[in-house]
Amino acid sequence: MQITIHRAEQIGGQITRISTAKDNIIIDLGHILPNSTKNKDVYDDDLAVAEITKGCSAILYTHYHGDHIGLFHHVPNDIPQYIGEVAKQVVCRKYEQLSHLPDEAGKQKYQHALNIASNLHTFHEKQTLHFGDIIVTPYFVSHSAYDAYMFLIEAEGKRILHTGDFRRHGYLSKGLLPTIQKYIGQVDVLIIEGTMLARKNEAILTEAELSRKAAELMKEHKYVFVHCSSTDMERLASFKNATRQMPSYRPLLADKYQKDLLDIFSTTAGQKRSSTGKESTCFKFGTIYMYEDRNIKLKNWMISNGFTMFVRSSEKFHSLLDQIFSILPTSERPILIYSMWDGYINREDTKKEDYIRLQKRFATIESLHTSGHATTDVLCRICELVNPRLAILPIHKEKDTDFSSIGIPSHLQKKVITKNHTLSNIDIEFI
Ligand SMILES: [Zn+2]
Ligand SMILES: [Zn+2]
């Protein structure tokens, strides 16, 4: 067996290939983070992707973030690609949006990607997929992308767990440890994300705590704009739930794209019952309003009760802000709640100018964010629970961070492998 990991020592551009003597699959085919380097992703063309996917039986995606799925549109048509059912809907809606971009080259590229996205195969939690002698079972995880999975891969008598991106402090994290205990147990090789290694001491709010803090801000401010990821269902729910706590009923506003995504979440996650059979309103987003200057009723409602509006940094939102600011009383200042990683604002190598420009529109800005990734404590728990017989392969981590120093017992520290290595008939290769 061979395990080939591309770009383990960076966050973004995740690709893992698992090969037996007969078959092979790829887990995630990610693009590097857009701002992570001025260079183009070396795999970002049809030829390069044809080369690295050659002879591959299938490509499976843990979730829809670009650093895991971003190269999918280069994959040759004869290789089937798999993703969660709701994740597929989100990807299709995203590429439909991108295909409306004004420039012709971009339009064609994204239209092509949309065609490929609509042909993605889907899988279901805990249902095994067979690719020759490789068996893959997806297990649901909570992450800042909804419908995310870790994969158990079984082949040639070996069991490998690939965690993808995950966390234990989301609304949907309760099943994480029980699922691993009940369905996965001990493995031979653990391939595990290490995003938080570089942020070991960062205080982590649970998503529920974040929602309570959002409600406190909303009690102080009537006119609330929220800048968060349009596809982060749990975060969007945190702000929706906080809005619903307000004594007077406030409308939730978004543009058509965000509204469509929220509708996808309401009709999927919003319909699911909890393990106790209880109906939950957490992911039912209800009616989402789109601002229109001629909708006097909505305008009066917004002015009198306040509102929460999900915004992005595109040009369209600047003109929407112009319109909305002009109807608000000058006595009440609108607030922008920034709910994404602060590196996009204040880290020289990753900052996004359009995010900063959006912030300049507001006199009052509050940052309220929590990570989509597992804390080092949780990474330790996972290592102990699956107690890998052969190897721990850390991926999705910043360079020069050390996985073996997170507090795992010494017998597991010795199993952390970050360089090419052969053990017990498995060739491990880092590219
Ligand atoms: Zn992710
Ligand atoms: Zn990621």
405 plus 267 within the same structural domain: no
Residue 129 tokens, joined: 């997929």
Q: Which-ligand-closest: CA of 31?
A: 2
Bridge partners (DSSP) of residue 15 are: 6, 29
Successive 10-residue mean pLDDT values, the chain, 431 residues: 95 95 97 75 95 97 97 97 98 95 85 97 98 98 98 98 98 97 98 94 92 98 98 98 97 98 97 77 97 97 98 96 96 96 90 96 97 96 98 95 95 97 95 93
| Three-state SS at 148 | strand
265 plus 382 within the same structural domain: no
360 plus 380 within the same structural domain: no
- CATH number of the domain bearing residue 338: 3.40.50.10710
User: DSSP E strands: which ranges in 234-334?
Assistant: 252-253, 288-289, 307-311
Distance 92 CA to ligand 1 centre (A): 17
Check: CB of residue 72 under 8 Å from CB of residue 117: yes
Q: What is the pLDDT of residue 34?
A: 76
Distance 166 CA to ligand 1 centre (A): 8
- Please give the radius of gyration of the chain, using alpha carbons only, rounded to the nearest integer: 22
Give me the amino acid identity at 148: A
Q: What is the pLDDT of residue 298?
A: 98
Distance 64 CA to ligand 1 centre (A): 7
78 plus 170 within the same structural domain: yes
Distance 11 CA to ligand 1 centre (A): 10
Distance 6 CA to ligand 1 centre (A): 16
Check: CB of residue 26 under 8 Å from CB of residue 56: yes
139 plus 20 within the same structural domain: yes
Range of the domain at 60: 2-200+372-430
Q: What is the pLDDT of residue 103?
A: 83
Distance 408 CA to ligand 1 centre (A): 24
Distance 327 CA to ligand 1 centre (A): 38
23 plus 163 within the same structural domain: yes
Sign of the CA dihedral running 130, 131, 135, 139: negative
Distance 402 CA to ligand 1 centre (A): 20
Residue 355 tokens, joined: 């995010």
98 plus 176 within the same structural domain: yes
Check: CB of residue 25 under 8 Å from CB of residue 56: yes
Total domain count, the chain: 2
Last residue of a domain, one of 336, 367, 398: 367
315 plus 419 within the same structural domain: no
- CATH number of the domain bearing residue 47: 3.60.15.10
Distance 68 CA to ligand 2 centre (A): 6
First-to-last alpha carbon distance for the chain, in angstroms, is 17
Distance 374 CA to ligand 1 centre (A): 11
- Angle at 121 (CA atoms; ends 77, 145), nearest 5 degrees: 115
74 plus 169 within the same structural domain: yes
Distance 396 CA to ligand 2 centre (A): 7
Helix count and strand count (H, E) for the chain? 14, 20
Check: CB of residue 230 under 8 Å from CB of residue 66: no
258 plus 390 within the same structural domain: no
Last residue of a domain, one of 321, 350, 367: 367
Q: What is the pLDDT of residue 38?
A: 66
304 plus 174 within the same structural domain: no
Within 8 A by CB and 6+ apart from 67, the residues are 11, 12, 13, 14, 30, 31, 32, 33, 396
Q: What is the pLDDT of residue 35?
A: 65
155 plus 21 within the same structural domain: yes
Which residues have a beta carbon within 5 Å of ligand 2, which is an ion? 67, 165
Last residue of a domain, one of 342, 367, 392: 367
The helix or strand, by DSSP H or E, that contains position 25, with its residue range, turns out to be strand 24-29
